[in-house]
Amino acid sequence: MSEKTLTNGPAAAAILSSAIGCFILGVLTFWADVSKPFGKLLNFYNPTGPLSGVTTLGIAAWLTAWIILAALWGKKTVAIAKVNVTAYVLLGLSVLLSFPPFADLLMGK
């Protein structure tokens, strides 16, 4: 089997965009919890409630970021170490923001 030679751009775009999508999901989760009016805005599908808006917008942010970053970095070699650190921070924050006790702590509950 022949081995492909690729720059790291496509991988960097995929890694960072997935972290951005997760982070947006975490922020929206937190925000919907803090603000009931905002939570109602995210009620895209009533049987599922605000979860429908949180996840739809999180997925939309992820895919949009992926399309943009892939267009920018698709054939380039990028500073992957910086991309990785940024992605790890965003991913860690997204897990924290989705964790109810952490959100309660931020809200001072």
Partner 1 sequence: MEFTLRALVTELHGILFGTFFLLAIYGLLIELYRTFFVKQPAMLTDKGQGIQNLYLIWMAVLGWAAVFSGAYIVYPWYRAVPPAGINIHAAGATNLLAYPRYFLLSSVTTAEWHNLGMEWKEHIAFIAVIAATMLAYVLIEYGHSIYQHPQVRTAVVVFASVAFISAGIAGLFGAMINKEAPVQGGTTIHLMGAAK
List residues near partner 1 by CB under 8 A: 1, 3-6, 8, 10-12, 14-15, 17-18, 21-22, 25-26, 29, 45, 47-49, 51-52, 54-55, 58-59, 62, 80-81, 83-84, 87-88, 91, 94-95, 98-101
In 3D space, the residue among 23, 4, 21 whose CA is nearest the CA of residue 67 turns out to be 21
What whole-number distance in Å separates Cα of residue 33 and Cα of residue 30?
5
Minimum distance from residue 49 beta carbon to partner 1 (Å):
7
Minimum distance from residue 10 beta carbon to partner 1 (Å):
6
